[in-house]
Amino acid sequence: LGLGGVGFLTDWEDKDAIAQLINEIINAGINYFDTAHAYGDGKSEESLGLVMGTGRRREVFLATKTADRTYDGALREVEESLKRLRTDHLDLIQVHGFGTNEQDDVAAIGKADGVLPALWRLRDEKVVRFVGITGHPNAPKLKGAVATYDFDTLLCFVNPKAECRWVDEELIPLAQRKKMGIIAMKVYGGGPGT
């Protein structure tokens, strides 16, 4: 069970109320926090930073995402994310929403000027522990990326909707064969944007 980065983290304005709720969530035993550079134009990360900038950072597994597909752009986004989150390290950085736009290219993300060499560099430098990928249903390019590269994790839809059957039948078995951690989202049947 984890805390997703959209909702009160992007919508509330009262910083004291945001910090109080984050602390209550940690006190309740929830320790997986997932956000993204783009959520609320950075507000989600800033909201989490209210508590991640304290000693409580060591109590959580902190994940964020970059939507940039270039080496320099991804490094820039991660640097901004670290500042917003008020931390010097991430437990997980993820390639955000791969395959949701036509410009995504499986081969390009692994090239020298692509996002993956940047994220691998950050892992080698111990700025991040794990590198993952995320995606939505019916994204064949996502499956291609999972098959091609050695990601540590996959964040994907896992729910009973018909559009998610391919996840159960094809994507998760592939990730399991590759010994990837699988993180489920939209488990109650939500779709993109819900």
Q: What is the distance, to the nearest Å, from the Cα of residue 87 to the centroid of all Cα atoms in its chain? A: 16
Helix, strand, coil distribution of the chain in percent, nearest 5: 45, 20, 35
133, β-bridge pairs: 95, 154
What is the pLDDT at residue 188? 83
Instruction: Give the whole-angstrom CA distance, residue 187 versus residue 104.
Output: 25
Active-site residues: which are they? 39
Question: pTM for the full model?
Answer: 0.94
Residue 190: per-residue pLDDT:
67
Nearest to 91, CA basis, from 167, 183, 156, 160: 183
> DSSP string of 157-194?
E-SSSGGGHHIIIIIHHHHHHTT-EEEEE-TTS--TT-
Burial category of 99 from C-beta neighbours within 10 Å (exposed 0-12, middle 13-18, buried 19 and up): buried
Task: Return the H-helix or E-strand segment holding 34.
Answer: strand 32-34
Residuewise pLDDT in 10s, the chain (194 residues): 999 999 999 999 999 999 999 999 999 999 999 999 999 999 999 999 999 999 999 999 999 999 999 999 999 999 999 999 999 999 999 999 999 888 899 999 999 999 999 999 999 999 999 999 999 877 789 999 999 999 999 999 888 888 888 888 999 999 999 999 999 998 887 666 55
